[in-house]
Structure 1
Amino acid sequence: MAKPKNKSNKIYEQVAQHIKQMIEEGVLAPGDKLPPMTELAKEFGVSRATVREAFSSLVGMGLIDLRHGEGTFVQKIDVQTMIIEPMNAALLLGRSNMRELLEMRRLLEIGTVQGACERWTDEGLARIEQALNRQEAACHTLEEQVSCELQFHIAIAEASGNNVFLNLMNTLSEALRSTLRLTHEATDDVEALIAEHRRIFEAIRSRDGKRAVELMSDHLLHCERHVLAKKT
């Protein structure tokens, strides 16, 4: 494997893009096992942590599969991946697209929270509260917090009763996970983020659409500041 040459992106993005290109060109075929991270790090002249971050992006795009105890394998590309992968690839690898993703997320989630206020059912409200309770009880490891927060936002989309909103959230879930990870990496006050979620939930339960929209907008702007600061 040749070393990536694009200097405009972060190093892990260059590594991920290089491996992605090899998959697209058939150099790496479905089922092929990638060399160990240590070997790739030496080959690319980067740290093992950089390769790990590149792998995380590629997993999010559905291009590779990390199997504990077995290694890392190229995924078979199905129809769903062919549709979703280009969007997630652009969002996960393109720094210039991060601001656009955050803007789209804000518009999308303002719609979902407003819909949830108007149309939640007992079951839908319970799912939001369960996701929030899981986040509050999580052991504060990064991945647990990120997964719980993602489920909280998806539960709101489910409660909105709008399948288009829900499908968009699910389609963008891995790209959103990337932004959530950046948010949690950049903040020392996870409890403050959870408190914002609790206030959003209470507004939804009260069917106070105006309050819920204001809280969600403030929450997302808060997250955006963390993400954009982390990406610079």
Structure 2
Amino acid sequence: MEVSREDISVSTTESKTLSAELADHLCERIRSDRLAPGDRLGTEAELADQFGVSRTVVREAVGSLRGLGVVIGRQGRGLCVAEADNFSNVLRKALVPQVASPQGWRELQQLRAVIEIGSIALAVELITSEEIIRLQTIVSEMKRVMKKMKQDPKGTSKAYKEMDCLFHQTILAASHGNFVKQFHGVLLDYFHAGDLYGQSPTLQGLRQHEWIANAIADRDTDQATRHLTDHLKPQLKAPTQ
């Protein structure tokens, strides 16, 4: 995405500094040009010349983007898009306040449900044959685990939740949205740490997983969305005051 010198100078307002606007332009370039981790954005001098601002402005913009984990400096290459892990680290830090209260936990669970339901149509469209087989294999494993419920309730619950996690991660991975997958992964990490992921193993929950997997295998977006929404409905309820 090409941005002229006028684009950044004329649109500046009192509430937005040049450095903040430059940071926005750089983020937009990363999004619109679909730049990958490690892709080069330029040196401070190159960016100052391209956008018609001082190197001080560039330095301030770059400093804020470094702090957010969006960009990094590479010797001999200048400014580059940060690795994906940095994005995950920023998310983890940003979500820390939410885990301090029961309502915060509930809101994170709602966010997780919204992300999954919002991504299901893309997953149905883009999922590969290998990923469909993986989903069906996970469901088969969940059935096998459930048979041990009476003999080992605690062990069965733990194994089932691990399969549950893999099931939903596979769906998100099938949407091929890297940031979405990372965001979802960060949420699941928090839920596991707080022992709040998923529901207790039930035959109804198992059937819902099977229905979701079958609908996705049939490339039936409407059915997949309906079954996934029913499955995640408990997490969509408003927090109790």
What TM-score results when the alignment is normalised by the length of structure 1?
0.55
Instruction: State the Cα RMSD in Å.
Output: 2.8
> In the alignment, which of 177, 182, 190 is matched to residue 202 of structure 2?
190
SS at match of 2:197: helix
For the pair shown, which has the larger CA radius of gyration, 1 or 2? 2
Is residue 88–residue 182 contact of structure 2 (8 Å, CA) maintained in 1? no
Confirm or deny: 8 A CA contact 1:131 1:155 kept in the other structure. Answer: no
Distance 1:82 1:162, change over 3 A: closer
Fraction of identical pairs, as percent: 21
Q: Secondary structure at the match of 1:161?
A: coil
Q: Which residue of 2 aligns with 1:130?
A: 137
Identify the range of structure 1 (150-159 vs 130-139) with the bigger mean alpha-carbon deviation.
130-139
Q: Deviations over 1:163-221 (max 9, x none)?
A: 2221112122222433325x21xxxx611101111001111111111111111111101
Any conservation in 2 of the 1:88–1:175 contact (CA below 8 Å)?
A: no
1:223 and 1:82, CA in 2 relative to 1: closer, same or farther beyond 3 A? closer
Sort the Cα spacing of 1:104 and 1:87 in 2 relative to 1 into closer, same or farther, 3 A: same
Kindly provide the amino acid, as one letter, of the partner of residue 116 in structure 1: A
Q: How many residue pairs were aligned?
A: 147
Paired position in structure 2 for 1:220: 232
* Structure 2: tracts of 5 or more residues without a match: 1-84, 150-155
Q: For each residue in 1:47-69, what CA deviation from the matched residue of structure 2 results, as whole angstroms up to 9, or x when unmatched?
A: xxxxxxxxxxxxxxxxxxxxxxx
* TM-score, normalisation: structure 2: 0.53
The residue aligned with 1:169 is 184
Q: Which range moves more in the overlay, 190-199 or 79-88? A: 79-88
Specify which of 217, 221, 236 is matched with residue 209 of structure 1: 221
2:9 maps to what in 1?
Answer: none
Deviation at 1:125, TM superposition (A): 1.1
Which consecutive residues of structure 1, in runs of 5 or more, have no partner in the other structure?
1-77
Distance 1:203 1:82, change over 3 A: closer
- Structure 1: which 4+ aligned runs deviate by more than 6 Å? 78-81
Residue 91 of structure 1 and its aligned partner are, at CA, apart by: 4.2
Moved more, 78-87 or 140-149: 78-87
Q: What's the counterpart of residue 164 of structure 2?
A: 149
Tell me by how many angstroms 1:151 deviates: 0.6
Residue by residue over 1:18-77, the C-alpha shift from the partner in whole angstroms, topping out at 9 and shown as x without a partner, is: xxxxxxxxxxxxxxxxxxxxxxxxxxxxxxxxxxxxxxxxxxxxxxxxxxxxxxxxxxxx
CA distance in 2, matches of 1:130, 1:220: 21
Tell me by how many angstroms 1:93 deviates: 3.3
SS in 2 for 1:207: coil
